[in-house]
Chains A and B, each alone.
Chain A
Amino acid sequence: MLVLRDLSVSFRGRPVLRNLSLDLAPGETLGLVGESGSGKSMTALALMGLLPPGFVASGSIRLDGHELLGLADADLCRLRGRAMAMIFQEPMTALNPVLSVGAQIAEGLVLHGLMAPRAAREEAIRLMERVGLPDPVRRARSYPHELSGGQRQRAMIAMAIACRPALLIADEPTSALDVSLQVEILALLREIRDETGMAMIFISHDLSVIHAMADRALVLYGGLAMESGPTRHVIGRPSHPYTQGLMAAIPRGNAHTGRLRPIPGQVPDLSRLPPGCPFAGRCALGDTRCAEMPPPLRTGLTALHCHHAEPAPA
């Protein structure tokens, strides 16, 4: 249902996302993994057509066969919130402080012509109950500052699923929450996904969260897809040096037995990425060819962009 081909995003001529291609089927969840600045959020915003001023997207984004890139804002408005919806990272700031929670949830339903205002208000209460907000009738009249962080994120989810979108993009939905709340919110998202059969793009820097949520994973670094494939292969048998480095850097249960192994070096400045592989400078296998030539795509058990590493055979 969602097909991305060679999606690139640039800011003042500098690429921040390079030639991203991916496919997503209904009911499927894709995990986008990467450090901050790897291009995860830019991918999400490009999909929604909400890139900040100055950012330009090229390539192709097709949702149910319709090309989204180049659509007028008025046409995108009909799709946003209806065909595709998004949950943001910061529940504290993503809700309007002067409107009641119920009104904000009901708004999309009325906007997209699905319900009359009165029915939408009742549906909002039903949705709040569905996402596990206690006392929804009273909570619907509450303002965001009267809700806790976890409750606000639940309200945010209710808002996003209100119009039953076919695609839900969740941009680090649990990163700002306590660990115990994270587990609850992840379980809720899984439940809702399985109930509605919507496709999901789940963005996180946390591999364990991706492991819990995603059927397939795509690892981004410096705006380029490093490795992608079924989550269990990407995380269980990574072939790309960057993915391997990420896995090695995860603290193990028996942490006393060894030191953490961080990836040496710093994340490259997105404004001065090398023309070749963005990981070249930090990679053990990196050479001059890596820095100068974009890495080729190799496919096997996973798909990866690398001059040196080969994926395990499928």
Chain B
Amino acid sequence: MALFLIKRLLGLVLTLLLAALVIFLVLEILPGDPAAMMMGVSATPESVAALRAELGLERPAAARFLEWLGGFFTGRLGLSYTYRVPVDGLIAERLAVTVPLSLLALGLAVAFGVTLGTLAAAKAHRSADAIIMGITQLGLAIPNFWFGILLVLVFAIGLGWFPAGGFPGWAADPMLAFRALLLPAIALALPQAASLARITRSTMLETLSEDYIRTARAKGLSRSQTIRRHALRNALIPVLTILGLQFSFLLAGTIVVENVFALPGLGRLLIQAIGGHDLILIKSLVLFYVATAIIVNALVDLAYGLADPRLRVGRA
């Protein structure tokens, strides 16, 4: 088990380093002067030179790369060019929106996806199944920015139950902040819930045809008891894999949805950074996204062991 963990950790670190290298190469080394790119076409040679000096672009690339990586541990990622504040503080501030938003969306997606998928499998080839599968087909087809706009039109502008956008912050009224996040979370969760429901349905159907399900029924468990106690955990093991992969899509979704709902989150920060040619901010943000996706997938790998005793290594 220890060896397995060490190997997995080593792979993780290598992947992260490689990702960081690619981001660094693309943004700082490839032809084109980063300083000139950030200042735009109207910049004078003197101001470009001044920025080059501020960014330390005259120093060797390897030193800059290592310094940047070190910044992730010390928190010194430099000053954002557009905001003129430290990048680490900026990211931390925006995480207060994006993390709760992602977790809320993930929770909704899992709750609805697994429940609906299980229900569809239990009622396979009957009308309830057809209706659920129809809805999920729709959920997969609708782009989430469009669904977000639709939610705003109906629930914010039409019914006035939720704010149409913006974020009041957690400090003043946490309940108000939560309400501001609910519609975007729903928009974000829709395609995830839809694909989770479809995957859960198929793995559940497969599980229900297993011999041990018949054993459980022979013991006297009802159909629904059998599904809850014997089938669900087995059916969710493959779903876990998909969930890990889907998390990346969820992160990408936050970028779009935060902009639709004008939420001051990480995704909106990224769009603003790109709009302002703020390379300093962009490179740290992109690496942050990549690292989150990679680390979540590694955590999913570890979660297998908890879900499936056959994958627990090093046990007698």
Contacts and interface: CB of A to CB of B under 8 A. Distances in A.
Contacts of A112: 220
A258 B219 CA distance: 48
A88 B211 contact: yes
A93 B309 contact: no
A98 B218 contact: no
A280 to B, nearest CB: 34
Interface string A71-88: 001100111111001101
A94 B211 contact: yes
A143 interface: yes
Contact of B220 (A77, A88, A156): A77
B220 A97 contact: no
Given A77-B221, A93-B210, A99-B230, A88 B215 contact: yes
A96 B310 CA distance: 11
B309 A96 contact: no
A66 to B, nearest CB: 16
Interface size range on B against A: 20 to 34
Interface in A155-207: 156, 159-160
Interface string B233-247: 110010000000000
Contacts of A107: 216, 219, 221, 229
Best-surrounded residue of A48, A95, A99, A160 (most CB of chain B within 10 A): A99
A96 B212 CA distance: 5
Interface residues of A, number: 31
A145 B310 contact: yes
A73 B221 CA distance: 10
A82 B211 CA distance: 20
B228 interface: no
Contact of B212 (A74, A94, A146, A160): A94
Interface in B167-222: 210-212, 214-222
A95 B212 contact: yes
Best-surrounded residue of A93, A96, A97, A145 (most CB of chain B within 10 A): A96
A77 B211 contact: no
A50 B310 CA distance: 29
A81 B219 contact: yes
A295 interface: no
Contacts of B212: 93-97
Contacts of B308: 97-98
Given A95-B212, A143-B309, A145-B310, A111 B230 contact: no
B219 A159 contact: yes
A94 B234 CA distance: 14
A108 B218 CA distance: 10
A80 B234 contact: no
B313 to A, nearest CB: 13
B230 A108 contact: no
B220 A80 contact: yes
Contacts of B315: 146
Interface string A94-119: 11111100000001100110000000
B8 interface: no
B307 interface: yes
B214 A88 contact: yes
A159 B221 CA distance: 13
Nearest to B209: A52
Contacts of B229: 107
A82 B219 CA distance: 8
A160 B229 CA distance: 18
Contacts of A82: 220
Contacts of A98: 233-234, 237, 307-309
A97 B230 CA distance: 9
A90 interface: yes
B223 interface: yes
A30 B315 CA distance: 43
A160 B218 CA distance: 9
Nearest to A44: B218
Nearest to A80: B220
B219 A111 contact: yes
A96 B216 contact: yes
Contact of B221 (A79, A97, A111): A111
A217 to B, nearest CB: 24
Interface in B295-316: 307-310, 315-316
A127 to B, nearest CB: 13
Given A143-B309, A145-B309, A96 B218 contact: no
Nearest to A109: B219
Given A90-B211, A94-B212, A98-B233, A108 B223 contact: no
Interface of B: 210-212, 214-223, 225, 229-230, 233-234, 237, 307-310, 315-316
Interface of A: 48, 50, 73-74, 77-82, 85-86, 88, 90, 93-99, 107-108, 111-112, 143, 145-146, 156, 159-160
17 contacts: A50-B217, A77-B220, A77-B221, A78-B220, A79-B220, A80-B219, A81-B218, A90-B211, A96-B216, A97-B234, A98-B307, A98-B308, A107-B216, A107-B221, A108-B220, A143-B309, A145-B310
Nearest 3 A/B pairs, CB to CB? A81-B220, A93-B211, A81-B219
Given A48-B218, A88-B214, A111-B220, 18 more contacts: A50-B217, A73-B222, A73-B223, A80-B217, A80-B219, A80-B220, A81-B219, A82-B220, A85-B218, A93-B212, A97-B212, A97-B309, A97-B310, A98-B307, A107-B219, A108-B219, A143-B309, A145-B310
